[in-house]
Amino acid sequence: MTLFYDTMLAFSLVLSIVYLAMWHKHFNIHITLVFVLVPITNLGFSMYGRAKNLEEALAAKKIAYIGGCFLLMFIMFMVFSLCHIKLSRFLRVTLMSLSSIIYISVLSIGYSDVFYESDMTFEVANGIVKINKTYGFMHNIFIVIVITYFSMSIIATVYSYFRKNQVSRTMIYLLCLSELVAMLAYFAGRKIIEGIELLPASYVFAQIMYLIIIYKITLYDVSDTAIDSMVESGSTGFISFDFKFRYLGSNKTAKKIFPELYELTVDKPITDLEIMKTTALKWLEDFKKDDSKNKIYYEKNSKVFLIEIAYLFDGRKNRGYQFFITDDTKNQQYIKLIDSFNDELINEVAQKTASIIDMHDKLIIGMATMVESRDNSTGGHIKRTSQGVKLLTSEMKKDNYLDLTDEFYRKLIKAAPMHDLGKIAVDDAILRKPGKFTDEEYAIMKTHAAEGARIVHSILEGTEDEQFHIIAENVAHFHHERWDGSGYPNGLKGEEIPLEARIMAIADVYDALVSKRVYKEKMSFEDANRIIMEGMGTQFDKALEKYYVQARPNLERYYSSIDC
């Protein structure tokens, strides 16, 4: 008997030492408590086997009962934890309190009758120690709680087998096996070998099972394995600080990147080191004000380091800050290469686009010039009306008329040469007639406005610049409309006429008045001005009058400088 108990004690001590060698900070606390309590419990059985009297036997029993009261409870907690089943804090506290109460009753043996009644006798027969006793009511409660711990553990493993795919089946088998062996030893141990408790052997067997389990835990616990691998690989640096910006520690990788860390003292403020004030301290203060500022790129020794700031979490609450430092040089070089390539591509596309736009504009001007060459004017109408529009809009911009953008004015000036494109569809006999048109000829001549809109629409259809498309089409379509509604082709009135067409109308008529034609001489500036001013409110938009008046000196200066 004594040899058996001593052997189990020795085995349990050796296995606990093995556990200590395998121990990792991520191991469940209940596993550690199991490996602490098993040798203590087996020590109680060893002392019981050597007892010489009742007092020694009772003292040994009190130590051995630690296993029944606490060891089985911690084993149950461990099983639930390994099976990823959460027990409420209330239940854990309740069970711990109940086990403590039971163990207090165990300690009262010899002083009260609650666990063992006082009429106990001691005997040693054939080397086997035996206490003859009568159980008190607390022992019955003890048996109930033992059965409860065994039952809950078995239920947890069975439930995990059928419902928890993320729990290792090997681990479930080992847990079930250790529980069944312990139950057998507890309730039938003395019947298997008379007078000898087999519980110490079941505890040793459980230790062996748990060592196998914790060996596998290091592989199954992906998060812990990943963290350990990342720290050991040396590719990521870690620096920790508390909320008062005191240095808590760092790994070798961080110290290699920032050798200044060797000069910092743990628990001392980082303000003690001057260089930290402009780097770590500034980053932490910015992060404290706005935790979205959690990424910093830091250049040092021709390298670029990505520093990510996060809260230092202890499992329950934030305790400070932590830097995660990685070498991001290759990524940044790649990004710069891509940016450089994109800039070159953008410039090249811009150049090609500008070339296409220039070619497009020249094509439009070429078409307008070709149309103009068929007319009976002296030529240059396109250029002169475009300049007229430019001089009018320059005055409008000074007054910020209708909050129009510079982009609008620029596109209007660009669209001006397209206003007479529709004349390409008018017969030469009419277009080049030196005298007055008949009513039929005039009706045909007036079709150039709608035809011009159709041609412009076809030319610009699909262009990305929708605003220019609309402006150019309106200029061609409506520049012969009159403010009083008597114009053509649609007889639009007032603000029904697009603004760009109203502006174009003034420039077009002014040029026609002061330019020479085969059928007339050019008109004086005074006479042309009189006709334009008389048309304000009837032919032209009255609101544009002041801009014409302001532009008149520049218009006369321009037309005086050219031969028209």
pLDDT value at residue 357: 60
Residues forming a β-bridge with 325: 237, 307
Quick check: 329 and 297 in contact, CB under 8 A?
no
Percent of the chain with pLDDT over 90: 33
> Domain check: are 384 and 302 in the same one?
no
> Domain check: are 371 and 302 in the same one?
no
Does 362 have pLDDT greater than 70?
A: no
> Domain check: are 200 and 288 in the same one?
no
Residues 6 or more apart from 28 whose CB is under 8 A from it?
78, 81, 82
Residue 50 has a CB neighbour count (10 Å cut-off) of: 14
- Out of 197, 225, 253, a domain closes at 225
What pLDDT, in 10s, does the model give residues 14-69? 999 998 888 776 677 888 888 999 999 989 888 988 888 989 889 999 998 888 88
For residue 477, give the nearest of 459, 502, 450 by alpha carbon: 450
pLDDT value at residue 514: 92
Task: Please tell me the total count of domains within the chain.
Answer: 3
Does 220 have pLDDT greater than 50?
A: no
> Average pLDDT of 332-337?
77
Sign of CA dihedral 506, 511, 514, 517: negative
Query: CA dist 211 to 34, 52, 548, Å?
Result: 11, 36, 98
pLDDT value at residue 248: 86
Least confident of 125-134, 239-248, 368-377, 387-396: 368-377
Domain that holds residue 295: 234-327
Does 200 have pLDDT greater than 90?
A: no
> Domain check: are 241 and 215 in the same one?
no
Q: What is the mean pLDDT of the chain?
A: 84
Does 373 have pLDDT greater than 60?
A: no
pLDDT value at residue 375: 59
> Domain check: are 378 and 402 in the same one?
yes
The pLDDT confidence band at residue 300, using thresholds 50, 70 and 90, is: confident
In a domain, 343, yes or no: no
What pLDDT, in 10s, does the model give residues 273-282? 888 888 888 9
**Does residue 489 have a cis bond before it (omega within 30 degrees)?**
yes
What pLDDT, in 10s, does the model give residues 483-495? 999 999 999 999 9
> Domain check: are 293 and 440 in the same one?
no
pLDDT value at residue 217: 65
Does 406 have pLDDT greater than 80?
A: yes
DSSP summary character for residue 60: H
pLDDT value at residue 222: 45
> Domain check: are 42 and 143 in the same one?
yes
In a domain, 8, yes or no: yes
- Out of 225, 248, 279, a domain closes at 225
Residue 206 sits in a domain whose CATH number is 1.20.1070
What pLDDT, in 10s, does the model give residues 128-185? 888 888 999 999 999 999 899 989 989 998 888 888 876 777 878 888 888 888 888 7
Residues 6 or more apart from 72 whose CB is under 8 A from it?
146, 149, 150, 182
In a domain, 334, yes or no: no
Residue 332 has a CB neighbour count (10 Å cut-off) of: 16
pLDDT value at residue 183: 82
